[in-house]
Amino acid sequence: DGGITQSPKYLFRKEGQNVTLSCEQNLNHDAMYWYRQDPGQGLRLIYYSQIVNDFQKGDIAEGYSVSREKKESFPLTVTSAQKNPTAFYLCASTDGNTGELFFGEGSRLTVL
Amino acid sequence: ILNVEQSPQSLHVQEGDSTNFTCSFPSSNFYALHWYRWETAKSPEALFVMTLNGDEKKKGRISATLNTKEGYSYLYIKGSQPEDSATYLCAFYSSASKIIFGSGTRLSIRP
């Protein structure tokens, strides 16, 4: 089945460690996105990529990094520079025709 | 700074009752407005993609309207059922790639 796969679902990290969240899609979508959700807030855009080897900062990119070496993959690294990394992270891709976002099931990161 | 607001933040409705909630967005630089339903332990899924002022979309008991000139969209649910319990997100598109989400309306249906 076509879709978006995020891993891991749950992740615990010690302060000062970098961690990478995986996002893979087999929908043949060009554009991919990373969002962060905190309690009581909407989804906030971290980074997005409209095409392979290109990506743009979103509203809250500080402390995060991404790469887009393959169309199917858009991993997000949460670096030690991110001051408050504990959150729920959602990856999505868009249908170029309608702009409809297709989401993964999310990754919950907890910093101990 | 573009702001997208949804109200109310949460809503408790008796099964069988109808309900509606609002998404307010900037009335300038409008490209599209999407509604998503996010059930617990699942991924958000698109309900409606709306692009034209005056658009009205319907899917079963759920419908949505769009007013781009005044910057709001309403989502209506007729005869609420327990399976309607979810968080409903609206997403304002100022371009094909610039998307801003509201904080959502959490709907709970009481049997």
pLDDT tens digit sequence for A24-63: 999 999 999 999 999 878 899 999 999 999 999 998 999 9
Say if strands A107-111 and A10-13 run parallel, antiparallel, or are unpaired.
parallel
pLDDT (mean) for A93-98: 82
- pLDDT for B16: 97
With 0-12 / 13-18 / 19 or more C-beta atoms within 10 angstroms meaning exposed / middle / buried, residue A25 is buried
Q: How many CB pairs under 8 A join A and B?
A: 53
B102 in contact with A, Cβ within 8 Å: yes
Q: A12 to chain B, minimum CA–CA distance in Å?
A: 19
Residue whose C-alpha is closest to residue B33's, from B87, B84, B102: B102
Nearest to A99 among B4, B89, B93 (CB): B93
- Which is more confident, B22 or B95? B22
pLDDT tens digit sequence for B42-64: 899 999 999 999 999 999 999 99
Residue ranges of alpha helices (H) inside chain B are none
Q: Which helix (H) or strand (E) holds A76?
A: strand A76-78
Computed over every residue of chain B, the mean pLDDT equals 93
pLDDT (mean) for B101-109: 95
